A and B are shown apart, each in its own frame.
Chain A
Amino acid sequence: GAGVSQTPSNKVTEKGKYVELRCDPISGHTALYWYRQSLGQGPEFLIYFQGTGAADDSGLPNDRFFAVRPEGSVSTLKIQRTERGDSAVYLCASSDTRAHSGANVLTFGAGSRLTVL
Chain B
Amino acid sequence: RKEVEQDPGPFNVPEGATVAFNCTYSNSASQSFFWYRQDCRKEPKLLMSVYSSGNEDGRFTAQLNRASQYISLLIRDSKLSDSATYLCVVKRNTGFQKLVFGTGTRLLVSP
- Least CB distance from B20 to A in Å reads 19
Separation of A85 and B21 alpha carbons in the complex (Å): 31
Q: Which of A17-25, A60-68, A69-77, A99-107 contacts B (4 or more CB under 8 A)?
A: A99-107
Query: In the bound complex, how far is the Cα of B87 from the Cα of A91, in angstroms?
Result: 15
Among B42-50, B52-60, B68-76, the stretch that binds chain A is B42-50
Q: List 25 A-B contacts (CB under 8 A).
A: A31-B97, A33-B98, A33-B99, A40-B103, A42-B101, A42-B103, A43-B44, A45-B98, A45-B100, A48-B97, A55-B96, A56-B98, A59-B98, A91-B43, A97-B97, A103-B97, A104-B32, A104-B91, A104-B97, A104-B99, A106-B46, A106-B99, A108-B45, A109-B43, A110-B43
Q: Could you tell me which A residues sit within 8 Å of B by CB distance? A: 31, 33, 35, 40-45, 48, 50, 55-56, 58-59, 91, 95, 97, 103-106, 108-111
